[in-house]
Amino acid sequence: MSVRVALIVGSLREGSYSRHIAQAIKELAQPALDLVPVEFGDLPLYNPDLDTDAPPAAWTRFREEVATTEAVLFVTPEYNRSIPGGLKNALDVGSRPYGHSVWQAKPAAIVSVSPGAVSGFGANHHLRQPLVFLNMPTLQQPEAYIGNVAALLDERGKLTNPGTRDFLKAFADAFAAWIEKTKA
């Protein structure tokens, strides 16, 4: 029986490296994990004044989509040694109104992706900080930093490196075991 997991990609760009790696993980994780993409690009910036009985429709859609999952996998690029602003906004939208967070106690994992050698280390670790506050038990090992990603994909964005494929499969398996271990 598979676990329904929100797949949240930190990049808004359709052909981003993060999206390609997320797709590869989605394929490798089956059947243990049912990775369901949850998009956040249409979310207005979080403003408590808008969080009324009739919040923006995009907020409601996002909250409902995340709420129907049992865990969350984040695949993100690094922007200026941190996470993209849209991803931070998605965390904020999902955590409100106070006391009604859709993130509460959901097991999580993070994969950071970069065309450079540093592999999105800053984004990976910056994302961990709000996940602690949101009470999302986050997979510690194996850590997943995918550097020099352009060399791992073909012109269509398909993963070509067998070692990376094996690593991502092992990561997905470890995440499935983590979800089982930490589920409330």
Regions of the chain where pLDDT drops below 70: 184
Question: Roughly how many angstroms between the first and final C-alpha of the chain, as a whole number?
Answer: 17
Looking at the whole model, is its pTM more than 0.95? yes
Beta strands in the chain (DSSP E): 3-9, 33-37, 71-77, 108-113, 144-146
Alpha-carbon gap, residue 165 to 147, rounded angstroms: 14
User: What pLDDT is recorded for position 184?
Assistant: 61
The answer to whether the beta carbons of residues 64 and 35 sit under 8 Å apart is no
Report pLDDT for 122: 94
Share the mean pLDDT of the chain. 96
Amino acid code (one letter) for 90? A
Per-residue pLDDT at 1: 73
- Cβ neighbors of 30 (< 8 A, separation 6 or more) are 2
Other beta carbons less than 10 A from residue 49's beta carbon = 5
Query: Cα–Cα distance between 13 and 19 in angstroms, integer?
Result: 8
Report the pLDDT value the prediction gives residue 117, as an integer from 0 to 100: 85
